[in-house]
Chains A and B, each alone.
Chain A
């Protein structure tokens, strides 16, 4: 029973953290898209030109250059999340093995 409770706590905590990360990612994506849209609209109103120019402005939207420093920093963040994730998974599997072993011990099978 204690393993069952611990297991569900870990699974819930991990699921919440993953869903929070996903929500944050979606929110930042929406924010970026809105920003790009606003820039495009601003460019249109400034120049007051045709639709073709809107497309040009969209293409010209500044894209962040991925320098070595940025990549390293991103890799560092992924390392922290990744190692945390792998160890959490293994912890979950630890509880799965414990629970399954408790629920279906070898003895019962022999009796049957």
Chain B
């Protein structure tokens, strides 16, 4: 009879959560929606919601992982090193003015933050929800850990799910905001090579400048740029490869399963989760819209017109967004090659999202 205690004490909420865990695993395996993260979260959710689970009690495995890895910010910051090691900033130097799109396409973050306050969330929770629009999982997790630990589960799931849904979310938004004529605009390719010294100095200078102006962003931007410095310095190739592969994989597994600690039925099964997931979609839509509209505004002043679709690539979802924009351009005109410009905007989006995270940490008290 003692062995049946678990079965007899299961609540319908826990049963639903077991189903949600299964759904996440299904999405990860069958649909390949960010499998590296959704699969550990899904399995962790199952472990966390088994009745009387020892994994989430005080001193339990998930509790320890959550407290040691996420509450201390260690895991999101380690992910930043891995992401930094994966980024090649050289496309930025080919057309630096596209850097501005990395800023404009963060509009969804702030718009969603305002919208979230109308749903009754306080400012700190609203900021954590808005940051889903950074389209950058580690930044979302980092900010949510600081401001709204209880909402970490739905925020992470929304952030990673929508990142994998960029090819579905962005095209209709872009088409709605641009004319065919605008989508046909061709942009000149620039053959410009960047020196190694420049690529080495860039992460160092950016960290110093960003750190001096907004000290709250030092950890975020610093770890990202540290990863990039490992990549560009040319003498730590083994470390760079490790950061890009083994470190990224290991930390992602731990991050995913640790987040599942917040996915117990009592914390996750409420109307707020649905609102957060809906607001996450709004954030992605307004990010894309912000970038496209900004490009259209710039076109009023520039002689050499920018294809406004490039603006939407200013989000951080790399390289997915760049590919989407390129293929949209090719659908309109098969000789229009937008990939290089889209990649530049996309890389700048990766910096922009981290900066937006740092600014939110500075401004929201």
| A18-B213, A71-B126 as given contacts; A79 in contact with B111, CB under 8 Å | yes
Task: Say whether chain A's binding surface is mostly helix, strand, loop, or mixed.
Answer: helix
Q: A63: CB under 8 A from chain B?
A: no
Q: List A contacts of B201 (CB < 8 A).
A: 100, 104
- Asked if A11 and B213 make an inter-chain contact with CB atoms under 8 angstroms apart, the answer reads yes
Q: B40: CB under 8 A from chain A?
A: no
Q: B176: CB under 8 A from chain A?
A: no
Q: B87: CB under 8 A from chain A?
A: no
| A18-B213, A87-B103, A100-B201 as given contacts; A74 in contact with B360, CB under 8 Å | no
Within B95-149, which residues are at the interface with A (CB < 8 Å)?
96-97, 99-100, 102-104, 106-107, 109-111, 113-114, 116-118, 120-123, 126-127
- Asked if B123 and A94 make an inter-chain contact with CB atoms under 8 angstroms apart, the answer reads no
| A18-B213, A83-B107 as given contacts; A94 in contact with B363, CB under 8 Å | no
Question: How many B residues touch the partner, as a band?
Answer: 35 or more
The contact sample of 14 A-B pairs, CB cut-off 8 A, is A71-B121, A74-B117, A74-B123, A75-B110, A82-B359, A83-B106, A83-B107, A85-B214, A87-B104, A93-B209, A94-B97, A94-B99, A97-B96, A106-B195
- Asked if A93 and B351 make an inter-chain contact with CB atoms under 8 angstroms apart, the answer reads yes
- Asked if B123 and A85 make an inter-chain contact with CB atoms under 8 angstroms apart, the answer reads no
Q: A59: CB under 8 A from chain B?
A: no
Bound-complex Cα distance A11 to B208 (A): 12
Q: B268: CB under 8 A from chain A?
A: no
- Asked if A68 and B118 make an inter-chain contact with CB atoms under 8 angstroms apart, the answer reads yes
Bound-complex Cα distance A78 to B99 (A): 22
Bound-complex Cα distance A107 to B126 (A): 49
Q: List A contacts of B359 (CB < 8 A).
A: 81-82, 85-86, 89
Q: A27: CB under 8 A from chain B?
A: no
Q: List B contacts of A108 (CB < 8 A).
A: 195
Q: List B contacts of A100 (CB < 8 A).
A: 93, 198, 201-202, 205
Taking A86-B106, A87-B100 as given, write out 20 further A-B residue pairs in contact, using a Cβ cutoff of 8 Å, ordered by the A residue number. Answer: A11-B213, A68-B120, A71-B122, A72-B118, A75-B114, A75-B117, A78-B123, A81-B363, A82-B109, A82-B360, A83-B106, A87-B104, A89-B355, A90-B99, A90-B348, A97-B92, A100-B202, A100-B205, A104-B197, A104-B201
- Chain A nearest CB from B139 CB (Å) reads 13
Bound-complex Cα distance A71 to B194 (A): 46
- Chain A nearest CB from B97 CB (Å) reads 7
Bound-complex Cα distance A90 to B205 (A): 13
Q: Fill in one digit per residue for A21-41: 1 if any B CB lies within 8 Å of its CB, else 0.
A: 000000000000000000000
- Asked if A15 and B123 make an inter-chain contact with CB atoms under 8 angstroms apart, the answer reads no
- Chain B nearest CB from A68 CB (Å) reads 6
- Asked if B106 and A15 make an inter-chain contact with CB atoms under 8 angstroms apart, the answer reads no
| A96-B206, A100-B205, A109-B195 as given contacts; A14 in contact with B213, CB under 8 Å | yes
Q: A4: CB under 8 A from chain B?
A: no
Q: List B contacts of A75 (CB < 8 A).
A: 110, 113-114, 116-117, 123, 126-127
- Asked if A90 and B122 make an inter-chain contact with CB atoms under 8 angstroms apart, the answer reads no
